[in-house]
Structure 1
Amino acid sequence: MPLPFLTADRDFDTADDVPLPHDDRDRWRRPYRPGPWRVGAAAILLLLASFVLFAAVIIAATASVSSAGVVFAIALVIIACALRLLRMGVWVSARGLRQVGFFSTRTVPWEQVGSVRTVQQPVRLLGLPRTVQGQALLLARKDRTEGVPPLLTTHNADFLGRELAFDRAADSVEAWADEYRRG
């Protein structure tokens, strides 16, 4: 079964790629591939879910069905968490820019976007409280809303140890912003 949220919309290894390759501009797309930390964490969660599902089958065969149902529900929650973890990130379309977090999703229409720029600043390491010096892609809204977290950082789960991938993703999001803020 193909998982479209795991793939980027373009192959970054080609030399002749264009900044905005797309067929359907209204479809939400992530302009980069999920990083190895995010995919690894999701794989571990799915592995854990398989053990929990196996435990649910054993409990259903040897104990009560209601106990197996509870364990099965726990496995479904673990699977949902793994899928949500894979969906996290920045998504773009002709309608705007969407930042998907684990518990929330924020969508900003292109009409409200003031600028999208890369800055050098302290960033969180894998979303933890510890900060390190890195780069961040920031969104400045026209209504001057303060306190907006960075869209992408060089030390999040998608780009830790992948500076070139961060640069490509930031350039791609900036290209989308430049195209749709003008239009």
Structure 2
Amino acid sequence: MPLPFLTADRDLDFDRRAAESAPLPHDEPDHWRRPYRPGPWRVGTAAVFLLLASFVLLSAMIIAMAGSLPGAVVCAVVAVVLIALAVRLLRVGVWVSASGLRQVGLLRTTTEPWSAVASVRTVQQPVRWLGLPRTVQGQAVVVARVQGEPLRVVVTDHNSDFLSRPTAFERAADALEAWAAEYRR
């Protein structure tokens, strides 16, 4: 039985299809979508949180069978928080639709309609490495508003989606700029 998810050809096929398709490869522009894949650092971190949650749930089951129900409830709540954190971590990034641009962070989400977006561009600037306080020189996708300050920078070439993947960052930046050019009119 073939297992296509185990082969490296899938990523090459995705890159080939992305290069051949239009700048906005979408069937339903009204649905929110991330124009890039989550990176290996983000997926790996979420997997570690889910693994930790499974151990905590196993602990909750053992504690409940031992007869300490309050301890089991505390462990179950910790596991639910870890699962929610892992899911939210996978959703962090920039999402686009025909109605606007949405920046999803770990704790907050900002949605701007395309009419409120002045420009989406890639700039060279100091960026945070993997979201840590340490900064390095890199590229970032900056979203300028028509009124007010620009949105916080979420997409950089040194974040957990694009670290060591410069072509993926360029493709994502081009896709975001194409969405902005299409719907800002």
**SS at the partner of 1:135?**
strand
- Corresponding residue number in structure 2 for 1:6: none
Return the TM-score normalized by structure 2.
Answer: 0.90
- Corresponding residue number in structure 1 for 2:3: none
**SS at the partner of 2:139?**
strand
What RMSD in Å do the two structures reach over aligned CA positions? 1.3
Structure 1 segments (4+ residues) deviating >4 Å? none
Alignment of 1:1-183 (within 5 A): 11-14=14-17, 15-143=19-147, 145-146=148-149, 148-182=151-185
Deviation at 1:46?
Answer: 0.4
Native 8 Å contact 2:142 2:150 kept in 1:
no
Identity of aligned residues (%): 63
Listed as ranges, the gaps of 5+ residues in structure 2 are 1-12
Listed as ranges, the gaps of 5+ residues in structure 1 are 1-9
Deviations 1:3-46 (A, max 9, x none): xxxxxxx9333241211111111100000000010000000000
Structure 1 stretch 119-128 or stretch 148-157: which is displaced more? 148-157
Distance 2:31 2:38 in 1: 18
More helix by share: 2
Return the TM-score normalized by structure 1.
Answer: 0.90
Deviations 1:70-124 (A, max 9, x none): 1111100000000000010000001100000000000010000100000111111
**SS at the partner of 1:21?**
coil
